[in-house]
Amino acid sequence: MSALSGTVDTARARPADALAAWTRRNAWDLGLVGFLVGLLVFTKLIQPSYGVPGVQGLAISVLPLALAAVAQAIVVLSGGIDLSLGSMMALVNVVAATQMQGQSEEFGVAVVLGALLLGLALGAVNGSLIVLTRVPDIVVTLAMSFVWAGFALLVLPTPGGGSAKWLPELVTGSLGNEWIPKAAVVLIIVIALIWIPVRRSWLGLSLYAIGSNRLAAFRSGVSVGRTRILAYTLMGLFAALGGLSLTASTGIGIPVPGPYTLLSVAAVVLGGVSLAGGRGSVFGPILAVIILQLIRTDMTFLDVDTNLATVLQGLILIGLELIGSLVQIRASRA
């Protein structure tokens, strides 16, 4: 997170200032963490039996959506949006499930690698179409959501297929301490292995640059078209991981796209990533996903209609965006 080199130098000089600057930069994420902690305490209060099974269930149910949120966040940070994310996840999900069915465990590893390559390819196709045709990204990805969902139905007309045994085992249960669900570990490893190196490289910097000001980025020598394509490619990789996590959690392939596209956009906004691009991180959206899921759980504990949870989700989305816009309007007037 400290890739803004200018602030890093002063940071070393005065630790207190550095801490203050870091807090300011990550105020939204810290707020989300605080809210999440409060929510967990609240959950424990209303349901004293909430414990290990609850946390593990939460982690597994959150994993596909968290990966989708990261995927969407990467594209939104670069100033784009992808409405075909859910269809991509469904396509990868069914391809993995049909190829793994009845095959050996070792073959499953090859299938997983192939599925990740497929995700990269799908993302690259989206990005290339946007850059080459110069059609607005919303239109292209909306159209591609039909295409990928169609291919998913061609691959597998009805839910079915299977999964290698090790894939579900990778995300269910806990590792070491029973309070550490494997799904969370998988998520952390994936982020640490893929996103953090990218974020710290030239690609991460140019990604934020084209998101915050495309013209300025171009004039500073960033290859805008190439960076956009790479952003979508990277999104495809995370979409593939999301699709694989669906295969892992259900054990089968489902050719109908889940609600992941719209929920990922919601999570990105709640996670403090500006839809205009260039501001935010992937951690906010992950926290937002966990919070949204936990609110749902809490509402079942409180015996509130789950439909009201949907209402609340929409209200939170609108409300946060309202506050965000108000702050921006205030700032632009000042």
Partner 1 sequence: MSGLASASGAPNPWLTAAAWRGLFRDRPMIPLLGLLAVLVVISDLVRPGIVSPEWVSVILRAAVLLAILAGCQTLTMLTGGIDLSVGAVASMSGFVVASFAAGAGTPTGIVVALVAAALAGFVTGIGVGVFRVHPLIMTLGMSFVILGLANVWQLQSVVTSTGVPPAFRWLGSQAFADVVPFSLLVFLPVAGLILVGLKVTGYGRLLYAIGDNPVAARLSGARSWQVLVVLYVVSALLAAVAGFLYSGYTNVASVTLVDSAVLPSVAAAVIGGTSILGGRGGYGGTIVGTLILTVISSLLSSLGYPEAVRQILFGTIIVAVAAAYTRVTGEA
With 0-12 / 13-18 / 19 or more C-beta atoms within 10 angstroms meaning exposed / middle / buried, residue 299 is middle
User: Using the rule CB under 8 A, which residue among 39, 153, 170, 295 binds partner 1?
Assistant: 153
Tokens of 51: 């414990």
Instruction: Provide, rounded to whole angstroms, the least separation between the CB of residue 53 and partner 1.
Output: 27
Using rule CB under 8 A, residue 267 touches partner 1: no
Complete DSSP assignment for 178-213:
TTSBHHHHHHHHHIIIIIHHHHHSHHHHHHHHHHH-
Burial 177-188 (b: 16+ CB within 10 A, else e): eeeebbbbbbbe
Using rule CB under 8 A, residue 151 touches partner 1: yes
Taking residues 102 to 131 in sequence order and writing x for each that binds partner 1 by CB under 8 A, - otherwise, the string is: ---------------------------x--
Instruction: Provide, rounded to whole angstroms, the least separation between the CB of residue 319 and partner 1.
Output: 9
Number of neighbours of residue 102 by Cβ within 10 angstroms: 9
Q: CA–CA distance from 155 to each of 73, 109, 161, 253, 293 (Å)?
A: 28, 20, 10, 10, 31
User: Using the rule CB under 8 A, which residue among 38, 53, 159, 314 binds partner 1?
Assistant: 314
User: Using the rule CB under 8 A, which residue among 38, 41, 146, 223 binds partner 1?
Assistant: 146
User: Using the rule CB under 8 A, which residue among 34, 53, 157, 159 binds partner 1?
Assistant: 157
In three-state secondary structure terms, 160 is strand
Scanning 33-41, 53-61, 223-231, 261-269 for contacts with partner 1 by CB under 8 A, the matching segment is 261-269
User: Using the rule CB under 8 A, which residue among 135, 188, 196, 302 binds partner 1?
Assistant: 135
Instruction: Provide, rounded to whole angstroms, the least separation between the CB of residue 264 and partner 1.
Output: 11
Instruction: Provide, rounded to whole angstroms, the least separation between the CB of residue 83 and partner 1.
Output: 8
How many residues in the shown chain lie near partner 1 by CB under 8 A? Answer: 45
Instruction: Provide, rounded to whole angstroms, the least separation between the CB of residue 8 and partner 1.
Output: 32
Phi then psi dihedrals of residue 160, to 5 deg = 175, -155
